[in-house]
Amino acid sequence: MKKVGKSSKKGFTLVELIVVLVILAVLAAMLVPALVGYIDRAKKEKEYQAASTVYAAVQALATETYGKDGKLTVADAKSTFTREQVKELTGVTVNDVQYSVKGSSTKIDEYTINYIAIQFNANEDYYQYVAGGEWSTIKTPALPDGVSGTIAQMPEKTTTTTGG
């Protein structure tokens, strides 16, 4: 005997499925832009943290150089540090680092890095820090007056193999 007024079919109607899909699409449309913003901010924060780490490494190298004989010379400030030293200390690969210590072209007043500009990849912005300020991004570094230097690129090691 069949029950009158009750359907024996189970499941969702096409209209119900379409309504659920439309609700999911609206939620996704609201969520995706918010997530993209979070991802961009997280990437930028990671780069600022890496720049801070590189700054600390360059300052450590300056301190080490100063500690060897009690003075950091102009030549030391301009050429002592290499990208390989920075990578060894931090694990961060940099494309370019330019920095400045307080002083003139013949005399260094302090061995503290008072300005640094760090570029991680070619054709990207530099991360700049001026002592007493905050990190910012710039297109081209403008080193302040004082003793300025750049992280040197050491020549790549070449190995030769002989056939035999």
C-alpha span between 22 and 27 (Å, rounded) = 9
Would you place residue 160 in the very low, low, confident or very high pLDDT band (cuts 50, 70, 90)?
A: very low
Q: What is the mean pLDDT of residues 93-113?
A: 81
- Tell if the pTM clears 0.75, that is, is over it: no
Q: What is the mean pLDDT of residues 111-119?
A: 86
Q: What is the pLDDT of residues 2-54, one digit of tens each?
A: 566 666 678 889 999 999 999 999 999 988 888 888 888 888 889 899 999 99
Strands 96-103 and 108-119: antiparallel
C-alpha span between 69 and 108 (Å, rounded) = 14
Whose tokens are 């910012």? That residue is: 136
Instruction: Count CB atoms within 10 A of the CB of residue 25.
Output: 10
More confident residue, 97 or 20: 20
Residues 66-70: contacts with CB within 8 Å, 24+ apart?
Answer: 66/111
C-alpha span between 74 and 105 (Å, rounded) = 7
User: How buried is 84 (Cβ within 10 angstroms: 0-12 exposed, 13-18 middle, 19+ buried)?
Assistant: middle
C-alpha span between 116 and 101 (Å, rounded) = 9
Collapse the DSSP code of 123 into the 3-class scheme (helix H, G, I; strand E, B; otherwise coil) and give the result. coil
